[in-house]
Structure formats: structure tokens, C-alpha cells
Amino acid sequence: MKTLLTLILVVFSTTSYGQHSFPIDSVTGKILYTEIVNLPDTTDAAILRVTAKDCVTKSYINPAAVFVYEDITTGKVVFKYTEMITFKGLGVDYDAGWVEYSISLYVKNGRYKYEITDFYYINLLKDPAVPFESMFPTFKSNYQKKLIKGYYEQLNEDIQRFIVTLKTNMAVATDSDKW
């Protein structure tokens, strides 16, 4: 009886500890932040594309390193970003590695769509990048799981902050040049 109770407690504590608030795509199993946002129909796709590009490049430290691809005819703009993640130890932040991800923006008249996905973790030794989604199950100790949970939370906060900035900037995109 004690063994069964211990086993149940271990399973439930591990399962709940591993939970995170990332949206997971049901098809790919990857982290995927996505949304289609509708704006007034008068908002021109070209203005939205320029606004989106401007927003992303202003949100990150090195805009030239972020921009990857732009297709004016389809309204698609793609960025790749790498951000440092840290962990706290004895009240000090320590570098823990980098997370690389892609931001794709699609614009049409009166609406846009963003997709933030393809998250990869790169450790400080620059070993091969691993999918960020697969990191949590690979660690066994509670200390390692606590660190990874902190990485998840830090990254999720950064992505949510970027989404709010993107929506705010895109909401004020106007056809002010047309008069």
C-alpha cells in the first residue's frame, strides 16, 4: 500500500511540476504562438507589413541580425531571434544559454497573422541546438526541472510582452499617407 501511494505521489508531482503555459501545436507538437488579428478593413497590407517589420526590429537589440526574409507580394515577413536566458543563484543572474526562435508575420488588408515557433535551446558550450519542447522530460532531478521551468517562464514572459507590443503597434497603423 505504501509503495502504491508513493508511486502515485511521484507520478502526480512529476506531472504537475512539468506543466508549463506554452501553447503546443496539436499537429507538430511544437510550441506555437499564433493568432489572426482583424483590423479595420481600410488598413492597407503594405502599411501593416512596414509597421510589423518596424515593430519587430525595434523590439530586439540587433535588428539586422533578426531580419531573415520578406515577400512583398504575399505579405510575409520572417525573423529569427536568439535571446539569452538566465537562472538565479544566490540572488545573482547567471547566463544559461540561448533560445532561438522564428517569428513569421503575414499581412493582408485589414488583418495580420503572427506565428512564433521553432524554439531551440543552445547551451553555453554551443552544443547542437535541441528543441525547447523536449528539454523538460530529459532532466531527472528536481533542481534541473526547477531551472528548466524558470527558462520556460522567462521565455513565455518575453514572448507575451512582444505580442502585446506587436498588437499595440499594429492597432495604430493607419493610412495617414492617403489624403
Q: Which helix (H) or strand (E) covers residue 151, if one does?
A: helix 142-171
**β-strand 67-71 against 130-131: which pairing, if any?**
unpaired
Domain count, the chain: 1
CA–CA gap between residue 129 and residue 100 (Å, rounded)? 9
Q: Mean pLDDT across the stretch 55-82?
A: 81
| φ/ψ bin of 151: left (φ > 0), alpha (ψ from -120 to 50), beta (otherwise) | alpha
pLDDT score of 64:
66
Nearest of 85, 93, 105 to residue 45 by alpha carbon: 105
In this structure, is residue 17 part of a structural domain? no
Q: Mean pLDDT check: name the lowest of 39-43, 45-49, 52-56, 91-95.
A: 39-43
Average pLDDT, the chain: 78
In this structure, is residue 151 part of a structural domain? yes
CA–CA gap between residue 4 and residue 65 (Å, rounded)? 54
**β-strand 33-38 against 130-131: which pairing, if any?**
unpaired
Q: Does residue 3 surpass a pLDDT of 60?
A: no
In this structure, is residue 126 part of a structural domain? yes
Domain encompassing residue 77:
25-171
> Which pTM does this prediction carry?
0.77
pLDDT, one tens digit per residue, over 117-165 is: 999 988 888 778 888 887 766 666 787 778 778 888 888 999 999 999 9
In this structure, is residue 3 part of a structural domain? no
CATH code of the domain in which 81 resides: 3.30.530.80
pLDDT score of 124:
83
In this structure, is residue 12 part of a structural domain? no
